[in-house]
Amino acid sequence: MASDTGTWTAFLLVAIGAVGLVGAAGIVGAQVPYQHALARNDALTQALAAAAAPDARMRLDAMRPALDDSAEHILTGEGDMATRVAAERQRIAAEFAQEAHDIRVRMLIGLAGFTVGAAVFGAFVLSVVARKAEQ
């Protein structure tokens, strides 16, 4: 009987551990928009510096992959490069804030689902253990 209780306890710990894994994934996932924003901000700073170079067009074209969708916003349009970069920084700040919010919502839904699932599984395990103890 003691080994049955140990086995069920292990299963219960695994169920609770699943919630911890979702939390760990949330910690990693929550950083993604921030890391993207930092990388894009660095690319915009480099683009601003490249615009002042004698071979600006070649340097800016080479930076397109790092600039991603910001390239079209800062390489074309009205105003000088500094104005376009400032406007792009505001645009990407809003975009990455929305991305962070979306990740947060998905992680909360996942965490709630795993928590409910672990609670149901835990209740099932405890009911089985209680029934076996009565026998």
Q: pLDDT (tens digit, 0 to 9) for every residue of the chain, 135 residues total?
A: 455 677 777 777 877 787 778 778 777 877 888 888 889 999 999 999 999 999 988 999 999 999 988 999 898 878 899 999 999 999 999 998 898 889 888 888 888 887 888 788 778 877 887 887 777
Quick check: 44 and 88 in contact, CB under 8 A?
A: yes
Task: Please give the tally of structural domains in the chain.
Answer: 1
- Widest CA span of the chain, in angstroms? 87
Cα dist from 22 to 15, 16, 98, 132, whole Å:
11, 10, 21, 32
DSSP, res 52: T
pLDDT for 4: 66
Structural domain for 109, as ranges:
2-134
pLDDT at 1: 47
Spatial contact of 103 and 29, defined as CB atoms under 8 Å apart: yes
Q: C-alpha angle 21/25/26, rounded to 5°? A: 115
